[in-house]
Chains A and B, each alone.
Chain A
Amino acid sequence: MRGYKYLVVVASALSMANAHAADKDMLKAKRLYERMTGVKVSSTKPELKKVAELISQNNDRGAANYITTTPDFLNVQVKNLSLRLSNKDESVKVPFNDFSALVVGVVRDNADFRDILTADYSYEVRGVANDTDERTRYINQNNYTPIETTYLDMTNKGILVKNSSQKLVRNFWDTEDTQANYKAGPVVALGTNPEAAGVFTTRTFAERNLSGGTNRRAVEFSLKQFLCVSMAEAADSSASDQYVGRDVERFPAGDHNKYLTSCKSCHSVMDGMRGAFAKMEYVNFTHGGATGTYSHMNGDFFVKQGILDDYNAYYKEFVTPTINNILPDLVTNQENSTWFKARVAYLVSRGQTQAAATTTTRNTLNTIRDPAVANALFAEYRSIAANQTVLATIKANYKAANYITEYTANCLNKLGTTAGTAQAREDNFLVCNLDGKKELSLIYDFYNKKLTAAKVADAEKTRLLNKLINKGRPANINLATPYLQATGKRIQFPRNNFDSTTGVAVKMNKGSYPYGFVVNSDNFVNNATLGSKSSFFGWRGPASAGGSGVKDFGRMLSDSRRFSQCMAKRVYESVCLKKLEATQYSTLVRLGDRFEAVGYNLKNLYTEVALDPVCGVVKGE
């Protein structure tokens, strides 16, 4: 009996000890899980119990590895890393995009993380609205934003889907229909990007780094985001300035020394490398007029795909006939014109009522003079004796300086000539005066007085007067494109911003300094290799001294030791939640080497960092 009591006491003690150990394991699991995923976790989460179980088996590594397979890790921690990488401010407060999707996809699929700078594949989101419409990937980023707004799980390979190649847009039908509703075929004409290079050849990268400018921003961004090196750190005053572009001022404020001691340091490195982006552009699309539509483009692709020829053929086939035939008909026949009827029918087909569509279309018509009304006004004007006197006086003085000032020589000559009938001369003068002087013209004044006398309501009077002087009338191209849209013939093409021979973006050779480097290919050189720079960056691999195109540039960066260290630093700071200071250089090197040792697998790097004693997440590891 006494033995039984002892047994109970011992069992109780063991039970309490086990419970204590289990609590400890759970707390350790919670800490590890929260740090590795960036998500607070409750005690009831099944994944946490699994982590605690592995920890209780003294398998911290297994626990950390397991965490890297959870949705929280990919959907929050890795997504945040990808968002920070995608913008210069390193903010997570940016929408999910194609750049981020590629980074997340590479991690999820356990690919070599260097692929983010060299891969020719991409990722897209399926199972969201309009996911078959390529415009949601190449013309905007609407395909990617639902990842966050509908809380999609990217560990699901049916949601974040890998595409085997990266594409570029040749042109697209400018229709309001979605691809699903557009029955005429693919809305977007795509072609394979000849120089795909991971995130460098995503729309998001182009939008943020290749828009305008001279593509130097792309170099600065790349060094900062992927090597954790600022331009100031990369600058080297002893490097050759052979590749510095024509737009860089060699005598700032008249002082060449200032260029040598200040400008040259950065530009030697930056301009040497920017050649890699020479054929890349964030290009505006056009259907003849301005559109506000942009996508990324490659000069070789533009030239070899014959996009300029396609655009010229489109313009000749659709735009020119519209301008030459449809617009004159619009002016002459107003509401009975082909243009007007097509627009109303189109708006009705888009869901507007007939009345609303007519009102909307009339708004455009209110900016276009009705020649019948104008001719009637001219006749009425001429029929009044006082006005005849005015015209006779103007005619008599058509060479007088004060009359030229008031009526312009061009219009007065139409009255002063002897060609044609008197009525034709007067009409020509009045039209010229109306077009030139608008509100100050004779006919405008006449019409204004007439409408006032007839007590026409102010709003209607304003409408009629504005119509008479074509106030707000769009340019012909901007009248042509709505018609092309209504008839399903509006296509957008990338603008020609490239040299037709070399494929180099025109902006690369801005400036006029005669001895500046002229970019005529996408070759680049690495000028950050002298002295300590070489070991600072740890350049390695076949492209370490330079290469040709952005893919080689990606190789140059990703093969460097600095790339491994930079990624290790980023992971360290997001898991350990403290800065990896400059004084911890040996830790940086060690973690960078570990990243390489695990085959550039970012999930494994997270495990390595989380278990590293310096990180302190797992005590006693």
Chain B
Amino acid sequence: MKARNKIGAVIGVTFSFLFVAASFQNCAKQVDFASLEEVTLNGGGSDITNGSSNSKPQTDIDGAPVDAKQTLESMMSLLGLSRTDINMTAVNAEINYRRNLLMAQNDLTLVNSPSIIAITSLAGVVCQQAVTKEKKGAKDLFKYIDFAKGPSSYGKLGAINTYVSLVDRFWMRQPSKEELALISQTVDEYFSTLDSAAMSKATESDKLAVFICTGMLSVPDSYLL
């Protein structure tokens, strides 16, 4: 039952992350990418909390998603990974498996559910490489997470601080109040799926780091140029 809860939470939180990113800086509401008329990612967007999205003027999205041969490179760039940091076999296996689902061109209309799933899956593999790298050497991305201990040692604050530092690193800004509220809720949900024994396991710290990293790489701001 716990496992099922955890899977549910992971899926839910992943899409929460989509929600978080789409709503940052008053940029947009959660949208269906196929219906471009409603997408307003560049400052002209609607505030999801006031329910007035349809009454606001629509603007074009300024930018386009990375294409199939820019996705992995972008993820590695955001995480500061080089070829020597990664297990090429694992990463190549994943990118070869997912490439056909990734966007063929820098075209927003090509973003769809399969491509988002492909990006998320690829992000998971790349984030795992980042975690492995940090566990071996100096900590940088995940300095608020102690990989030698379980999540109970650094608690919710460690998770949220990781998120905040990655927002700054990836998106060069600070998280909004709404985003902080959502990430706080997300972390609560995540921790609620762990019992006290799991909270003390070091392996759970790996999973938490991969979880946060994957969620952040899977949102539009991490793949829109």
Contact = CB atoms under 8 A, between A and B. Distances in A.
A66 B76 CA distance: 21
B77 interface: yes
A76 B62 CA distance: 21
B225 A35 contact: yes
Given A76-B73, A577-B106, A43 B172 contact: yes
Given A151-B83, A577-B63, A39 B169 contact: no
B196 interface: no
Contact of B172 (A30, A79, A80, A83): A30
Interface string A121-158: 00000000000000000000000000011111000000
Contact of A41 (B62, B63, B77): B77
Given A45-B77, A577-B106, A40 B223 contact: yes
Interface stretch (B64-72, B131-139, B185-193, B199-207): B64-72
A195 interface: no
Given A43-B172, A574-B106, A72 B77 contact: yes
B223 A42 contact: no
Name the residue in A38, A42, A43, A44 with the highest tally of chain B Cβ atoms < 10 Å from its Cβ.
A42
Nearest to B168: A43
A574 B105 CA distance: 9
Contacts of B73: 38-39, 72, 75-76
A93 B78 contact: no
Contacts of A44: 80, 140, 169
B78 A41 contact: yes
Nearest to B225: A34
Interface string B98-109: 011000111000
A27 interface: yes
A150 B86 CA distance: 10
A40 B74 contact: yes
Contacts of A616: 62
B66 A38 contact: yes
A566 interface: no
A80 B168 contact: no
Contacts of A92: 67-69, 104-105
A149 B88 contact: yes
A42 B130 CA distance: 14
B94 to A, nearest CB: 13
A93 B70 contact: no
B129 to A, nearest CB: 12
Interface in A19-55: 23, 26-27, 30, 34-35, 38-45
A599 B225 CA distance: 29
Contacts of A387: none
Contacts of A91: 104
Contacts of A40: 66, 74-75, 77-78, 170, 222-223, 225
Contact of A76 (B63, B69, B78, B99): B69
A458 to B, nearest CB: 43
Contact of B83 (A30, A93, A150): A150
B104 A93 contact: yes
B79 interface: yes
A392 to B, nearest CB: 70
Interface in B176-225: 222-223, 225
B92 interface: yes
A76 to B, nearest CB: 5
A169 B225 CA distance: 43
A42 B170 contact: yes
A149 B104 contact: no
A100 B195 CA distance: 54
Interface in B33-89: 62-64, 66-70, 73-80, 82-83, 88
Nearest to B83: A151
Given A26-B172, A93-B99, A151-B83, A39 B74 contact: yes
B88 A151 contact: yes
A43 B88 contact: no
A41 B224 CA distance: 11
A186 B62 CA distance: 55
Contacts of A75: 73
Nearest to B91: A151
Contacts of A26: 172
B172 A27 contact: yes
Interface in B140-165: 140
Contacts of A150: 83, 88
Best-surrounded residue of B67, B69, B78, B92 (most CB of chain A within 10 A):
B69
A591 to B, nearest CB: 18
Interface string A63-102: 0000000001001100110010000000111000000000
A42 B222 CA distance: 10
A38 B222 CA distance: 12
A93 B69 contact: yes
Contacts of B169: 42-44
A505 B69 CA distance: 37
Contacts of A42: 77-80, 169-170
B100 A93 contact: yes
Contacts of A577: 63-64, 106, 225
26 contacts: A26-B172, A38-B70, A38-B73, A38-B106, A40-B170, A40-B222, A40-B223, A41-B77, A42-B170, A44-B80, A76-B73, A80-B67, A80-B69, A83-B69, A92-B67, A92-B69, A92-B104, A92-B105, A93-B69, A93-B100, A148-B69, A150-B88, A151-B76, A152-B83, A577-B63, A616-B62
Interface of A: 23, 26-27, 30, 34-35, 38-45, 72, 75-76, 79-80, 83, 91-93, 148-152, 574, 577, 616
Given A23-B172, A93-B69, 12 more contacts: A39-B66, A39-B73, A42-B78, A43-B168, A43-B169, A43-B170, A45-B77, A45-B80, A79-B69, A80-B70, A577-B106, A577-B225
Q: Ordered nearest first, which 7 A-B pairs have the shortest CB separation?
A: A40-B74, A151-B83, A577-B64, A92-B69, A38-B70, A42-B169, A42-B78
